[in-house]
Amino acid sequence: MMKRVVVAALVLGTSAYAMKGCLSPRAPDEQIAGEFHDVCTIAHDNIKSPERGVRQLGRYLVKHLDDMTGQFGALVAQIATISDDTKRETRALEAHERMRAPLLACQDDLMEFADAIENDPAAKRLHDEGLDRTLHTLILLLGGDGNRALLPAELQPLLRR
């Protein structure tokens, strides 16, 4: 009886682990590339409806930006821990190309979508308001002047190395 309980627990535990995606997780750069592909799809689908597209893109980014930035941080950490310089550089370039691929594939759609936004007053207003709020938030978080910088003045030269 005990053997059956142990086997059942192992099967259930392994199944739960696999369903969560832990047995074959995608690499962070693959996940980011997937997010970029989704952005491309939104752009492609809304070239003729830029206001709707800006709204969809905004909702998408609100929902996924934490995942995207988290995956980017995970990728940096993953690659930075590779001690062999050649392997680290190879992995970083591989990640770069993987993330860049969907954006290159849809660059014409992105440009058309950007032009459509620029030529639609309502879409441009939405875009500009969202961008202004985002930039203002970043300035508040990171510090927009020397007196309010996130890092104390003594540590800021470390960023310039």
Task: Tell me the pLDDT tens digit for each residue of 31-89.
Answer: 999 999 999 999 999 999 999 999 999 999 999 999 999 999 999 999 999 999 999 99
As a whole number of angstroms, the distance between CA 104 and CA 96 comes to: 12
pLDDT score for 15? 45
Let me know if residue 132 belongs to a domain: yes
Let me know if residue 3 belongs to a domain: no
Let me know if residue 1 belongs to a domain: no
Closest CA to 128 of 58, 38, 42, 56: 58
Element (H, E) at 158: none
Domains identified in the chain, total number: 1
Alpha helices in the chain (DSSP H): 2-19, 28-45, 50-80, 85-105, 107-118, 121-142
Let me know if residue 136 belongs to a domain: yes
pLDDT score for 42? 98
CB 68 within 8 A of CB 2: no
Let me know if residue 35 belongs to a domain: yes
Let me know if residue 4 belongs to a domain: no
Which range of residues forms the domain containing residue 40? 25-143
Share of the chain above pLDDT 90, in %: 67
Let me know if residue 66 belongs to a domain: yes
Long-range CB contacts (within 8 A, 24+) of 56-63: 58/126, 58/130
- The pTM assigned to this predicted structure is 0.75
Q: How confident is the model at residue 148 (pLDDT cuts 50, 70, 90)?
A: low
Q: How confident is the model at residue 5 (pLDDT cuts 50, 70, 90)?
A: very low
Let me know if residue 161 belongs to a domain: no
pLDDT score for 84? 97
pLDDT score for 82? 96
